[in-house]
Amino acid sequence: MTRLFGTNGIRGVVNKDMNSTLALQIGQAWGTYLKKTILRPKCAIGTDARLSNHMLKSAVTAGLLSTGCDVIDIGLVPTPTLQYAVKEKRFDTGVIITASHNPPQFNGIKGTAHDGTELTKDVEEAIEKIYFSQQAVLSEWKDVGSYSTWDGAIELYINGILSHIDITSIKKQQFHVVLDCGNGAGSFVAPILLKKLGCIVTELNCEPDGTFPGRHSEPIPENLTMLMKVVSENGASFGVGLDGDADRAIFIDEHGSYIWGDKSLSLVGKYITKKKKGGVTVTPVTTSTCFEDVIRQNKGSVIYTKVGSPIVARAMKENNAVFGGEENGGLIFPEFQYCRDSAMSLAKILEILATEKRPLSELIMEIPSYEILKTKIACPNEKKEQIMNLLVEEMKTHNEISDIDRTDGLKLYMKNGWVLMRPSGTEPIFRVYVEAKEKRRVEQITIFYKNLVESIIQRL
């Protein structure tokens, strides 16, 4: 079946493949799905700061109402704010209009279940099935849903975060934080949160603006150069950059150096397992070994999953994990909620700094370092499965491999490193990730496996 939902909801270019007709019909399909089990579903809807947010929100709202769902519009909010509101206010579903870190011409529709976690694949497929078969069931005039607005979501969310951290210790330190919201939805939350925590805040791009005039939305190093500069020039405690819908946070140390997501994930994981004297943690197979190193040091364990934050969140819930997240700055705090949360990540880093009373760069230095190389190889979608099968066959004869992990793609552990080969779910490419202690070793492994995959593609 053709798919609408990708790894992170339905995405597209506005008024081209992401338009009101689609959004209206998605709303109707979604509402029809909810009505199968719930008499009068209550749906929360919110948006990020993109220019097409109202248009798509109105279309989805019309669709949900017309199938007999009540809609509660919570306005412009970060994705985790909506997710928290859905969980706390017991809504039956949450809809967020966002294209996360994509360029401004994109927008999308993402959903959450009643507990605030992202929709499972089963639910997405059920909605898609109704959409493609045009089996939406519209309510009679008297059963059309009711629409209302509620502007308490941000306050509820900020208070929720504050109740989960040590405010007193943080306030005492009077941290100076440089905050770069990338003109995204985080602008509505992060500045308020930091001020409530007694921080001195230098704001960059904290005006919500759907054209993203300040920087590109994805918090990768080349988009955070200004943030790095401002942190080092102002002697700030650290810097933080958010993505468009503020579910991910990337940190900059007090010298202005970019901290990779693996490292901040590991730092927080270390702190939590240390405090809890162990515990289960969850992360995708793509995460650096440094995470497992620090978790094991603190008597914790790591469960590896397929790539995708909803999958990580589900595994955390099933295994009663104490912490989890991805290497892209998406951290999940189960005591608060089962989804990526930049504001909670920010609050947690502040708490760690307040407890440890040492600069961020020093804490990061203590996390083991690995060399990582990520490459991609062009590969037609229809050949991907065959390539994977041939790769698995081939590996049986390689004796340098100590372990094989088939969680997502093919991950091979060997002396001093690992390689992960996985076909992309969305693009016609094959990804090859390699990690080892030394740079030369990484290059060596990469060349070998890249050649191997290419030769297989050639052969087919």
Partner 1 sequence: MNQPISKHIFRAYDIRGLYNKDISPDVFYKIGLAAGTYVKHSMHGTQISVGSDIRQSSQSLVHAFIAGVTATGVHIYHTGTTSFGQTLFTGVALHADLITFVTASHLPPEWNGLKFYYGDGVGFPEENLMAIRDLVLHDSFELVPWNHIGQVTSVDAKSGYKHFFTSQFKFKKKLTIALDCGGASMTLSAPEIFTALGFQVIPVYCDPDPTFSKRPSDPKPKNLTTLVQTVKKNNSDLGVAFDGDGDRAVIVDNIGQILTADQTGIILGKYGLKKKKGTIIVNVECSKSVKEQLEPLGYSVKQIPVGHTFLTLEAKQTHALLGIESSGHFIIPEYFLFDDALVIPLKIAQILDRVKKPLHDLVMESPSYPTKKEEIECADNIKFEVIQQLKQKLSKEYTQANTMDGVRVDFEEGWVLIRASNTSPIIRLTTEADTTTILQDLSSQFMKITQEIIQQIKTKLRKDVK
Q: How far is the CB of 138 from partner 1 (least distance, A)?
A: 6
Do the beta carbons of residue 355 and residue 270 sit within 8 Å? no
The one-letter amino acid code at 343 reads: A
Tell me the H-state helices in 319-438.
Answer: 342-356, 360-365, 384-395
63 vs 269 by CB, closer to partner 1? 63
The one-letter amino acid code at 344 reads: M
Token look-up 């306005």 returns 75
Of the candidates 7, 20, 257, 444, which one interacts with partner 1 according to CB under 8 A? 20
Q: How far is the CB of 327 from partner 1 (least distance, A)?
A: 30
Q: Kindly state whether residue 146 participates in binding partner 1, applying the rule CB under 8 A.
A: yes
Q: Kindly state whether residue 150 participates in binding partner 1, applying the rule CB under 8 A.
A: no
Residues 96-115 that bind partner 1 (CB under 8 A): 104-107
Beta strand pairing status for 70-76 and 147-149?
Answer: parallel
14 vs 352 by CB, closer to partner 1? 14
CA distances from 206 to 80, 103, 182, 183, 189 (A): 18, 17, 7, 5, 10
Binding mask 204-243 for partner 1 (x = CB under 8 A): -------x--------------------------------
**Sheet of 238-242: strands edge to edge?**
200-204, 176-180, 238-242, 249-252
Piece of the chain touching partner 1 by CB under 8 A; list 23-31, 84-92, 294-302, 335-343 = 23-31
Q: How far is the CB of 123 from partner 1 (least distance, A)?
A: 22
Binding mask 164-203 for partner 1 (x = CB under 8 A): ----------------------------------------
The one-letter amino acid code at 32 reads: T
**SS3 for 406?**
coil
CA distances from 350 to 4, 256, 345, 396, 458 (A): 39, 17, 9, 48, 51
Token look-up 């870190």 returns 101
Q: How many CA atoms lie within 13 A of 254 on its CB side?
A: 15
Of the candidates 1, 2, 21, 222, which one interacts with partner 1 according to CB under 8 A? 21
Q: Kindly state whether residue 455 participates in binding partner 1, applying the rule CB under 8 A.
A: no
Query: Is 100 labeled as catalytic in the residue annotation?
Result: yes
State the CB neighbour count (10 A cutoff) for residue 104: 20
Q: Kindly state whether residue 456 participates in binding partner 1, applying the rule CB under 8 A.
A: no
CA distance 418 to 276: 29
State the CB neighbour count (10 A cutoff) for residue 383: 16
Q: How far is the CB of 43 from partner 1 (least distance, A)?
A: 13
Q: Choose, from 20, 58, 66, 100, the residue flagged as catalytic.
A: 100
Q: Kindly state whether residue 137 participates in binding partner 1, applying the rule CB under 8 A.
A: no
Cα 368 to chain center, whole Å?
Answer: 24
Do the beta carbons of residue 261 and residue 326 sit within 8 Å? yes
Residues 28-87 that bind partner 1 (CB under 8 A): 28, 51-52, 54-56, 58-59, 61-63, 65-66, 71
Q: Kindly state whether residue 13 participates in binding partner 1, applying the rule CB under 8 A.
A: yes
Q: How far is the CB of 18 from partner 1 (least distance, A)?
A: 9
Q: Kindly state whether residue 120 participates in binding partner 1, applying the rule CB under 8 A.
A: no
Of the candidates 3, 15, 213, 460, which one interacts with partner 1 according to CB under 8 A? 15
Question: Which of 128, 120, 126 minimizes the C-alpha distance to 311?
Answer: 120
Active site residues: 100
Q: Which residues bind partner 1 (CB under 8 A)?
A: 13-15, 19-21, 23-24, 28, 51-52, 54-56, 58-59, 61-63, 65-66, 71, 104-107, 134, 136, 138, 140-147, 149, 211
